[in-house]
Amino acid sequence: MRLSRASGSRLTVGGSAIASPLSPRYFRLTAHSSVKVAMATSSITEQPAGAPTHQRRDRRRTLAAATICAGILISTLDLTIVNVAFPAIGADFTDASVADLSWILNGYAIVFAALLIPAGRFADRFGMKNVFMTGLGLFTVASGLCAVAGSVDALNAARLLQAVGAAALGPTSMGLLMVTYGAEQRAKAMRVWATASGVAAASGPLVGGVLVNVDWPWIFLVNLPIGVLAVIVGARVIAPGRHPSKERQPMPDLFGSALLAVAIGLLALGIVKAPDWGWGTGKVLGALVGSMILIAVLLFRSSRHTSPVIDLSLLRIRDFSMANVASAFYYVAFAAGVLSVSLWCQNVWGWSALATGMAMAPGNLMLPFLSILSAKLVAKLGQVLSVVFGSTVLAIGSAWWAVAVTVEPNYVWGMLPGVLLTRIGMGLSLAPLMGASTRELPATAVATGSGLNNMFRQVGFVLGVSLLIVIIGNPSDSEAALTAYRAGWWFTAAASLAASLTILALRIDRPKKNA
């Protein structure tokens, strides 16, 4: 929303893609199949006779790791760097409606959700390096297209292409780091991944604020030199990481992925267009009913496909299913909370993108350290109670905004405590939530289950953005905006509490006490 304080005119909404800061545990799970591949293949440090010297091998390994981290960096940074550019993008596309602009946020999440599982299976079939390099090149090209987009439709299309590239990078980056460092240095590979993703996620809003002060296309242009250099160097130094089996893996169900994308898209379309079309109109009902029909078709197809998008046998595991529902609620809260703060600071308080990024920085910079505390919390409480604790703190932070934020800027007392509380809640609960979602799965199903869990998270993200846009609406002045945003923050708190209550349906794990 953009609120003209001088004229008191209507709020206008602009958009860019946001997503949850990606926890280091996320790709550790979603790339599990690639990790197994990596453990079964030879490290680039295992050279035959006549291989280069140790110094040369170390230099090659460092270059390979740096290239992989570059892919992690730009894809993760782009998920958070765009947050603060949301109003600036909308200011350039003033003729676009709220619903049109919302697809800059939702389109990315929908395509990412639909392609994550197929991308992992493509990596098993065609090799991790091939899929990673293809994704890296595609993401880089799409970033350039985003920067030169002259319309909302063009930007939406480029964002969809970015999501395809990001989906390819996701399941392969951790596996390739495993190949690079070898089985004996698995812990180091994980630390490298966690550092790259943590730094990118934490610094995104601040970097985005600096770049938006120049012009919003720079949030995409910054990816070009990094991506091009990574493609050139990676082609030479990254190990192949191919699947050790001589048998070709089955092709993933791409038609099923298309069904999933269209189904989620229709659901989002029905929600965001409902205020304009009317909830009871044929267009809205048609979109919602069409979404349900396509989901039913997808489930039917998944029950018969050899490489389905949704493994129905996993959904029969009660703890896994309930954890996925909790994940969806959690990401509803996450998406709505992050978007609302960016919109409020810039469009109601009238802050610059840089000031908004700095306002978020204290909480975001805590995230890498909170992941360490999260592990200690799990050791004391177990995964389930850790998720309950963190989600409750997240709800309290959102409720704080609803109670304390005022039309006149009151950052220290009104906004900052909520920023800190919500990030503490996220940092302490996200990793155990992901762990709880796969703990009851057999080892052979962890990779597929992790991808399915991420799909539920992305669906929650789409719903969070769509419902927040409907709740905020188009208030005519500051006081109306305050009422609307308070309703949005109470909604965010309710979604967080729903995640807490849902996760309690799981079997509570009891940490073993040291003797």
pLDDT digits (tens, 9 = 90+) for 371-402: 778 888 988 998 899 999 999 999 999 999 99
CA dihedral (121, 126, 132, 135) positive or negative = negative
263 against 104, higher pLDDT: 263
Is the predicted pLDDT of residue 417 greater than 90, yes or no?
yes
**pLDDT mean over 119-126:** 81
Amino acid of residue 323: A
The per-residue pLDDT for range 181-216, each reduced to its tens digit, is 776 666 666 667 666 766 776 677 888 888 988 899
What local confidence, expressed as pLDDT, does residue 158 receive?
Answer: 95
Distance CA 340, CA 347 (A): 10
Span between the terminal Cα atoms of the chain, in Å? 56
What local confidence, expressed as pLDDT, does residue 44 receive?
Answer: 40
Asked if residue 128 lies in contact with residue 242, where contact means CB atoms within 8 angstroms, the answer is yes
Q: Name the most confidently modeled range: 9-13, 28-32, 97-101, 310-314.
A: 310-314
Res. 126 pLDDT band, cuts 50 70 90: confident
Is the predicted pLDDT of residue 74 greater than 90, yes or no?
no
Range with the poorest average pLDDT among 1-10, 179-188, 406-415: 1-10
Asked if residue 270 lies in contact with residue 263, where contact means CB atoms within 8 angstroms, the answer is no
Range with the poorest average pLDDT among 14-23, 336-345, 410-419: 14-23
On whether the pTM is more than 0.85, the answer is no
Is the predicted pLDDT of residue 5 greater than 50, yes or no?
no
Is the predicted pLDDT of residue 480 greater than 80, yes or no?
yes
What local confidence, expressed as pLDDT, does residue 162 receive?
Answer: 93
What local confidence, expressed as pLDDT, does residue 247 receive?
Answer: 61
What local confidence, expressed as pLDDT, does residue 438 receive?
Answer: 78
59 against 345, higher pLDDT: 345
What local confidence, expressed as pLDDT, does residue 411 receive?
Answer: 95
What local confidence, expressed as pLDDT, does residue 1 receive?
Answer: 47
What local confidence, expressed as pLDDT, does residue 425 receive?
Answer: 92
What local confidence, expressed as pLDDT, does residue 41 receive?
Answer: 43
What local confidence, expressed as pLDDT, does residue 503 receive?
Answer: 93
454 against 337, higher pLDDT: 337
Res. 515 pLDDT band, cuts 50 70 90: very low
For tokens 């190990």, name the residue.
239
70 against 183, higher pLDDT: 70
Distance of CA 303 to the CA centre of its chain: 28
What local confidence, expressed as pLDDT, does residue 34 receive?
Answer: 44
Is the predicted pLDDT of residue 17 greater than 60, yes or no?
no
**pLDDT mean over 347-358:** 91
Range with the poorest average pLDDT among 2-16, 40-54, 238-252, 355-369: 2-16
Q: Tokens at residue 145, please?
A: 């297209």
CA distances from 7 to 242, 347, 406, 430, 485 (A): 61, 13, 20, 42, 20
170 against 153, higher pLDDT: 153
* Coil, strand or helix at 2: strand
Residue 335's closest CA among 17, 1, 20, 15? 20
